[in-house]
């Protein structure tokens, strides 16, 4: 699977979705966590804007009535403790806000906030050391925050990407609970370069807009998007996704209209296409789906119905309606469906992506993997074979085909594919674990145990992941 790297994550999580007058008069409880991580040992130099942005934004939030905690250059343990304190402060109906500036990594369609002491060499390291944005929003939701807002300024190229066999720049589209507002400082696949100013253009514009009396958070973020896009001459275009049912206002008062406003997004706002649009690169198989059980047709329909209001799905569906020949939009929507367990619907989108582009190697690989998960093994073989024909030694397709051989009982063939994948990436956890299972099946017990032990050290959850595939 591929990884999107190069992000600094600014998160604002949760503001109260109470009646408009209650939100506007700022009487709802407001709590915030603001983190600026700039001193990463793996980076060539400290991030010059991360801490200064965090300090200024924390001050701005305090002026807006938030009980804001500020953290600078936090380790993994310190970050987890800070989030725990935020969760404890988040009461039903409260506004909970998180701001993170630093490095982040996208892995398996989730964006992870990276602490300064993270040791990241492989994908399992990301899940071990990083903190998932979706998990933060879901936890805030479970604590009763009526509105969750995540602001993400995470488009710097980070130092970890060169360690992976493949990567994708930019942030992952977040699948957040209802009542969430997410804003990224740049398009999903875009990478921007820091300027020499003390603060990022995104935070500078955002601070100015949230001061406007009576201006809703959505409108403030739309204005921020317009300001950043214009200031960068289209080089940096923020992305917004919203499922808010009520307005939240940072500064009480009567809204002003002295500035041109951007068009208010629907449930999800795709990045404005500017001078240099950067379509999101495809990724390989989404690991979230690995933990889900194969869905029946009825379950699939229920999942699709539930996802119909998801901001990312709505945005991609709108793109497809506007441009039915957009194979990448079908591919990306298929990824979302697969990541949530709507496997058969995901296959339909991969079918369409392949129909539109018969050389879409990633779509073939993903369709192979999804078919393997739901037990359509023979068609899966054809898909993986085609992916490897298009891209020989494609490590993700080798890993996928190894899994389907394992499910089919072709243990020696599985070992051959896992061996080939491990020649490319010796620390590929899924191939190590799969090979360990296959080796034990054919009587190579000690060699298999070594593989399984090594894989579990790299990723303690790998056994649960394979159980989700139906393989033990």
String of DSSP letters for 212-264: STT-BHHHHHHHHHHHHHHHTTTS---EEEE--SS--BSS-S-----S--PPP
Question: pTM score, two decimals?
Answer: 0.52
Answer yes or no: are the C-beta atoms of 364 and 344 closer than 8 Å.
no
Neighbours of 157 (CB within 10 A): 16
Provide the residue ranges of all domains of the chain, joining segments of one domain with +.
3-269, 300-469
The least confident of 166-180, 181-195, 213-227, 354-368 is 166-180
H or E, element range at 133? helix 133-142
Q: Report angle CA 95, 268, 55 to the nearest 5 degrees.
A: 40
Give the whole-angstrom CA distance, residue 47 versus residue 327.
37
pLDDT higher at 292 or 215: 215
pLDDT for position 161: 63
Angle 356-358-360 (CA atoms, 0-180°, nearest 5)? 90
Q: Residue 104: beta bridge partners? A: 7, 113
pLDDT for the residue 27:
62
Tokens representing residue 291 in the block: 């933990």
- Give the phi and the psi of residue 99 in degrees, each rounded to 5: -125, 125
CA distances from residue 135 to 3, 185, 243 in whole angstroms, order as listed: 18, 20, 17
Give me 80's structure tokens: 């987890």
- Per-residue pLDDT, averaged over 197-219, amounts to 88
Count Cβ atoms below 10 Å from residue 230 Cβ, excluding itself: 12
Q: What are the tens digits of pLDDT across the range 388-437?
A: 999 988 888 999 999 999 999 999 999 999 999 898 878 788 899 999 99
**Distance (Å, rounded) from C-alpha 95 to C-alpha 218?**
15
Residue 267, sorted as left (phi over 0), alpha (psi -120 to 50) or beta, turns out to be alpha
Q: Is the pLDDT of residue 261 over 70?
A: no
User: Which residues neighbour 163 within 8 Å (Cβ) at sequence distance 6 or greater?
Assistant: 120, 121, 122
* Cα atoms in the 13 Å half-sphere on the side-chain side of 4: 30
Rounded Cα gap, residues 459 and 436, in angstroms: 14
Give the integer Cα–Cα distance in Å for 35 and 290. 31
Tokens of 363: 């779509």
Q: Above 70 in pLDDT, residue 19? A: no
Fold equal for 3-269 and 300-469: no
The CB-side HSE value for 49 (13 A sphere, CA atoms) comes to 22
Question: Coil, helix or strand for 359?
Answer: coil
Q: Which pLDDT does position 298 carry in this prediction?
A: 54
- Report whether pLDDT(295) > 50: no
The bridge status of strand 67-72 relative to strand 104-107 is unpaired
Q: Which fold has domain 300-469?
A: 1.25.40
Distance between the two ends of the chain, CA-based, in angstroms?
A: 21
**At 211, phi and psi to the nearest 5?**
-80, -15
CATH code of domain 3-269:
3.40.50.1460
Block residue for tokens 């603001």: 34
- What order do you get walking across the sheet with 180-184 strand by strand? 67-72, 30-36, 95-101, 148-152, 180-184, 239-242, 268-269
Which range has the worst mean pLDDT, 264-273, 373-382, 417-426, 463-472?
Answer: 264-273
C-alpha distances in Å from residue 236, one per residue of 47, 100, 273 = 18, 19, 10
Q: How far apart are CA 360 and CA 341, in angstroms?
A: 22
Q: Name the H helices within 269-376.
A: 297-307, 311-322, 327-339, 343-356, 361-374
Looking at residue 296, its pLDDT comes to 46
The predicted pLDDT at position 339 comes to 75
Q: Which of 156-165, 293-302, 361-370 has the lowest mean pLDDT?
A: 293-302
387 pLDDT more than 70? yes
Residue 443 buriedness (CB in 10 A; 0-12 / 13-18 / 19+): exposed
Average pLDDT of 82-107? 89
Q: Are 37 and 78 in contact (CB under 8 A)?
A: no
Distance CA 153, CA 10 (A): 5
Cα 337 vs. chain centroid, distance in angstroms?
A: 14
Rg (CA), the chain: 22
Distance CA 414, CA 403 (A): 7
pLDDT value for 462: 85
Q: Is 424 in a helix, a strand, or coil?
A: helix
pLDDT, tens digit (0-9, with 9 covering 90-100), for 49-93:
889 998 999 999 899 999 999 999 999 999 999 999 999 999 998
The answer, yes or no, to whether residue 271 has pLDDT greater than 50, is: no
Least confident of 21-30, 86-95, 343-352: 21-30
Cα 419 off chain centre by:
30
């Amino acid at each position: 699977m591929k990884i999107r790297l190069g992000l600094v994550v600014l998160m604002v999580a949760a503001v109260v979705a109470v009646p408009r007058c209650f939100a506007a008069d700022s009487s709802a409880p407001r709590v915030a966590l603001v983190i600026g991580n700039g001193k990463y040992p793996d980076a060539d130099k400290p991030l010059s804007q991360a801490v200064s942005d965090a300090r200024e934004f924390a001050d701005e939030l305090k002026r807006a009535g938030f009980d804001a905690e500020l953290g600078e250059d936090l380790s993994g343990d310190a970050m987890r403790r800070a989030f725990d304190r935020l969760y404890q402060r988040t009461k039903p109906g409260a506004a909970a806000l998180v701001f993170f500036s630093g490095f982040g990594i996208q892995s398996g369609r989730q964006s992870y906030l990276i602490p300064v002491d993270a040791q990241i060499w492989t994908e399992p390291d990301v899940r071990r050391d990083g903190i998932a944005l979706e998990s933060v929003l879901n936890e805030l939701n479970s604590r009763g925050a009526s509105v969750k807002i995540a602001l993400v300024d995470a488009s710097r190229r980070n130092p970890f990407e060169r360690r992976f066999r493949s990567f994708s720049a930019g942030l992952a589209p977040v699948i957040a609970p209802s009542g969430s507002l997410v804003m990224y400082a740049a398009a999903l696949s875009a990478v921007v370069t820091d300027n020499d100013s003390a603060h990022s253009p995104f935070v500078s514009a955002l601070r100015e807009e949230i001061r406007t009396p009576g201006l809703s958070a959505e409108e403030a973020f739309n204005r921020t998007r317009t300001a950043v896009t214009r200031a960068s001459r289209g080089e940096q275009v923020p992305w917004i996704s919203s499922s808010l049912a009520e307005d939240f206002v940072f500064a009480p008062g009567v809204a002003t209209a002295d500035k041109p406003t951007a068009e208010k997004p629907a449930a999800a706002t795709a990045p404005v296409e500017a001078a240099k649009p950067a379509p999101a690169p495809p990724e390989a198989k989404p690991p979230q789906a690995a933990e889900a059980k194969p869905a029946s047709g009825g379950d699939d329909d229920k999942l699709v119905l539930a996802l119909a209001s998801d901001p990312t799905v709505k945005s991609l569906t709108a793109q497809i309606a506007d441009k039915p020949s957009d194979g990448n939009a079908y591919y990306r929507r298929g990824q979302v469906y697969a990541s949530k367990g709507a496997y058969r619907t995901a296959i339909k989108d991969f079918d369409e992506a392949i129909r539109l582009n018969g050389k879409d190697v990633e779509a073939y690989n993903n369709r192979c993997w999804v078919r393997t998960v739901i037990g359509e093994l023979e068609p899966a073989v054809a898909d993986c074979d085609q992916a490897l024909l298009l891209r020989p030694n494609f490590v993700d397709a080798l890993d996928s085909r190894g899994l389907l051989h394992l499910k089919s009982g072709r243990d020696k063939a599985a070992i051959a594919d896992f061996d080939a994948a491990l020649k490319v990436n010796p620390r590929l956890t899924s191939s190590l674990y799969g090979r360990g299972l296959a080796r034990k099946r054919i009587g190579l017990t000690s060699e298999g145990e070594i593989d399984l032990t090594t894989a579990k050290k790299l990723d303690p959850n790998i056994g649960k992941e394979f159980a989700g595939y139906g393989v033990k």
